[in-house]
Structure 1
């Protein structure tokens, strides 16, 4: 029963993360096009646009901060695996479980704690760019920090459940 529940939690969160990751992946194409436009306008036509330059920064932040959960799901995050690469699947699951519980979740809680006032203040004043011609959406950009926490915690829960499924012995049916 526990195994089925954990498997269902993993499936739901993984589906959500996968969907978000596919959406965010399109942001990279937008990012490249915007960067190309900034360079073309500046060096080809001597036209500068602060809003266009800031939109590049916004999309860059979105790709990194919203894509972190997707990266975690696909195990593409930075890992020093001198010993890990030779571990059994169960040992790897145990290391991942300990890492998620003792490192990932506490770091997410810390990031949330230190950034919540920063983001809320930005929303209270509806913070805008200080640059003339800049985007009036700084408060939304700052909210991506909290979105990072949300996506990482959610995927962290899935990783904990996934690794528990590997570490816990499967219960056999009673005849």
Structure 2
């Protein structure tokens, strides 16, 4: 059981670091978008590569931080039954959700996007816009990263459920524990 707890902690640590790093792209998106607007409306000039840049940064950020959002329990959830439920009931719901929905979804995304990404890497795909950015193949790789990071965090959630159902909640990694108000600790900023 301790090995499972260690694996869950390692996955959570990975998604935490990636989430913290890539969340800074939000600032870059705002700055580049502001620059594009100022250039267009004050100086009557525009650069296609800058427009590509903030759109690509947006895509990279949202795909890279999806696992972090799942760690923090920031994804949309219907809490009518889940939030007031006991810890074991939530563990069963999480385990079922991961096995029935999340992991198959991640597998489908990975399977169907791999040829798409491989083809983009095959000819180092760039922006379709004249004057756009090179390196679209790198951005498309974030789809694979999304599927992998979400699946890994799903595995960590399944491990949390297994530990709780096995009567070993003390082994659950700190950032995945439930707080007294029955929300995962990771969803609160002070846990960071």
TM-score band by shorter chain is: over 0.9
Cα distance between partner residues in 1 of 2:131 and 2:158: 45
Alpha-carbon offset, residue 65 of structure 1: 0.3
Structure 2 unpaired stretches of 5+: 169-192
Cα distance between partner residues in 1 of 2:134 and 2:57: 15
Match of 1:31 in 2: 29
1:1-175 pair list within 5 angstroms: 3-170=1-168
Structure 1 residue runs of 4 or more that deviate by more than 6 Å after TM superposition: none
Alpha-carbon offset, residue 169 of structure 1: 2.4
Provide the aligned C-alpha RMSD in A: 0.9
SS class of match (1:86): coil
> Which of the two has higher C-alpha Rg?
1
**What is the TM-score normalised by the length of structure 1?**
0.93
Alpha-carbon offset, residue 84 of structure 1: 1.2
SS class of match (2:27): helix
Alpha-carbon offset, residue 37 of structure 1: 0.6
**Would you say how many aligned residue pairs link Structure 1 and Structure 2?**
168
Cα distance between partner residues in 1 of 2:68 and 2:98: 15
Cα distance between partner residues in 2 of 1:136 and 1:130: 9
Cα distance between partner residues in 1 of 2:8 and 2:112: 28
